[in-house]
Amino acid sequence: MKNATLITLLISGMAFSAVAQQHRPVQPQSAEDIAKMRTDQLTERLGLSDEQQKEVYALNLEKAEKMKVSREERSAKMAELRDEMKADRERLDNILTEEQRETLKQQQAERAEKMKTAMKARKDGKSRGERFRKGHRNFHKRGGAKADTTQTTPTEVIPNVK
Q: Report yes or no on 24 lying in a domain.
A: no
Q: Dihedral angle at the C-alpha atoms of 67, 72, 77, 78, nearest 10 degrees? A: 100
Q: What residues make up the domain containing 83?
A: 29-96
Q: Report yes or no on 20 lying in a domain.
A: no
pLDDT value of residue 11: 73
pTM of the model: 0.46
Residue 88 and residue 96: Cα distance in Å, rounded? 12
CA distances from 1 to 8, 12, 15, 40, 82 (A): 11, 17, 21, 53, 56
- Per the structure, the count of domains in the chain is 1
**31-69 pLDDT tens trace:** 999 999 999 999 999 999 999 999 999 999 999 999 999
Q: Report yes or no on 144 lying in a domain.
A: no
Q: Report yes or no on 37 lying in a domain.
A: yes
CB 65 within 8 A of CB 31: yes
Name the band, by pLDDT with cuts 50, 70 and 90, for residue 125. confident
Q: Report yes or no on 116 lying in a domain.
A: no
Q: Report yes or no on 114 lying in a domain.
A: no
Name the band, by pLDDT with cuts 50, 70 and 90, for residue 7. confident
Q: Report yes or no on 89 lying in a domain.
A: yes
